């Protein structure tokens, strides 16, 4: 393997383990999902659309 390919590792797998924050990484991933949904929408997202983007079931039942 080349040195460049050795440096390609998954995020959060290198460096000082005390500086890793799995909760923050999860929040960033969820934020990214909402951004993707918003970029594909013609207008503001409804609460149900945001819940769907986050993988949540709607708490509201009609």
Q: Cα-Cα-Cα-Cα dihedral of 13, 15, 19, 20, to 10°?
A: 0
CA atoms within a 13 Å half-sphere pointing along the CA-CB vector of 12: 9
Query: What digits encode the pLDDT tens for the residues 1-16?
Result: 444 444 555 565 667 7
Two structure tokens written together for 33: 């999902």
Report yes or no: 54 and 33 within 8 Å, Cβ to Cβ.
Answer: yes
- Of the candidates 39, 36, 58, 38, the residue with the CA atom closest to the CA atom of residue 47: 58
Q: Where are the domains of the chain?
A: 21-56
Query: What digits encode the pLDDT tens for the residues 13-59?
Result: 667 777 788 999 999 999 999 999 999 999 999 999 999 999 997 55
- Of the candidates 9, 13, 31, the residue with the CA atom closest to the CA atom of residue 22: 13
């Amino acid at each position: 393997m080349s040195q460049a390919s050795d440096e390609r590792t998954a995020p959060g797998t290198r460096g000082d383990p005390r500086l890793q924050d799995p909760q923050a990484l999860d929040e960033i991933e969820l934020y990214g999902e909402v951004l993707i949904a918003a970029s594909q929408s013609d207008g503001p997202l409804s609460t149900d659309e945001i819940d769907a983007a986050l993988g949540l079931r709607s708490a509201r039942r009609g």
